[in-house]
Each structure stands twice: as structure tokens, then as C-alpha cells.
């Protein structure tokens, strides 16, 4: 009785995923743009590691055996969040955000909602060091975002 009252039953789909059992193929679709393509690449890599996910294919006619996953509203932000006494930025927040929606026969079946991951970069005296750290952290955040999107597909939340 306690487990149903506390929300314990809201864990997700268990061993399955939100992908319907009838689906045999999937397409990963994005808008044009560097960030969309970078996230798509990471998502494709993570998808291919999932044994029970349908095979990724190019464009296919809409049917009950096919889904389209679409990356939408991708945003990358890099903003100063802390300053020293002279007003110079000493800490930045890098954030990768986006939405992954699943469509079947042009109807929205499921979506992640806004999925966001972030990390902080501490400023050094050398601007090129900040940029190098930001670039490396961006790669890591893209991977983290793709992992989180796959986890949501698997859990249903």
C-alpha cells in the first residue's frame, strides 16, 4: 500500500521502452545546423548500442512499423555566472538543451520535454584556455544529453 501512495509505481516502463512493439525501423530527423547535427551524431551512436531498439534507416513512408525521432529546439548557451571584484567573469555555465519527439504516421506519440544538461567552466587568465575547456566540455555535454535522451526513451519519462 505504501509503495503506490509514495509514487514508487511511477518509475517507468521497466525493461521495455516507449517505442511501440510493432515498430521495426526508425528515422532520426533534425533541422540543419551544426548543433543539431552534432547531437544527432551522438544520439545515433547511443541508439546503435541499444540491442532492442529498431534499426535506424533513412526516410521511409509513414506506417505502423516505422517511427520518426525528431530533434527539436536545440540550444547551446554559454553565459557568465560569477564575476570578480573588478567585474570580470570568473565562471561560466555551458548548457545543452533540446527536445526529442517521437512521431508515428505524422502523429506525436511521445516526447522528452525540454531536456537540459549543464556544467561550469572556471575562467583562467588565458582566453584560449577558457575556449579550449569550453570546447571539450561541449563534447562531453552532447554525449551526456544523448545518454539522457536514450534513458528517457527506455524508461518512458
| Residues 83-118 pLDDT 10s | 989 888 889 999 999 999 999 999 999 999 999 999
What does the radius of gyration of the chain's CA atoms come to, in whole angstroms?
A: 19
> Torsions phi, psi of 76, nearest 5?
-120, 130
Q: Which pLDDT does position 17 carry in this prediction?
A: 82
Instruction: State the CB neighbour count (10 A cutoff) for residue 82.
Output: 12
CATH top-level class for 18-155?
A: alpha beta
Q: Which pLDDT does position 16 carry in this prediction?
A: 63
Indicate the pTM of the whole model: 0.85
Domain ranges of the chain: 18-155
| Residues 37-58 pLDDT 10s | 999 999 999 999 998 899 998 8
Amino acid at each position: 500500500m505504501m509503495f503506490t501512495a509514495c509514487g514508487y509505481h511511477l518509475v517507468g516502463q521497466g525493461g521495455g521502452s516507449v517505442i511501440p512493439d510493432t515498430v521495426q525501423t526508425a528515422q532520426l530527423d533534425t533541422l540543419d545546423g551544426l548543433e543539431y547535427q552534432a547531437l544527432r551524431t551522438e544520439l545515433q551512436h547511443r541508439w546503435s548500442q541499444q540491442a532492442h531498439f529498431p534499426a535506424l534507416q533513412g526516410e521511409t513512408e509513414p506506417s505502423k512499423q516505422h517511427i520518426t525521432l525528431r530533434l527539436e529546439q536545440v540550444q547551446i548557451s554559454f553565459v557568465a555566472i560569477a564575476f570578480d571584484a573588478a567585474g570580470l567573469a570568473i565562471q561560466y555555465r555551458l548548457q545543452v538543451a533540446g527536445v526529442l519527439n517521437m512521431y508515428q504516421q505524422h502523429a506525436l506519440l511521445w516526447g522528452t520535454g525540454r531536456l537540459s544538461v549543464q556544467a561550469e567552466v572556471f575562467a583562467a587568465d588565458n582566453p584560449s584556455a577558457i575556449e579550449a575547456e569550453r570546447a571539450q566540455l561541449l563534447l562531453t555535454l552532447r554525449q551526456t544529453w544523448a545518454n539522457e535522451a536514450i534513458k528517457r526513451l527506455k524508461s518512458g519519462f
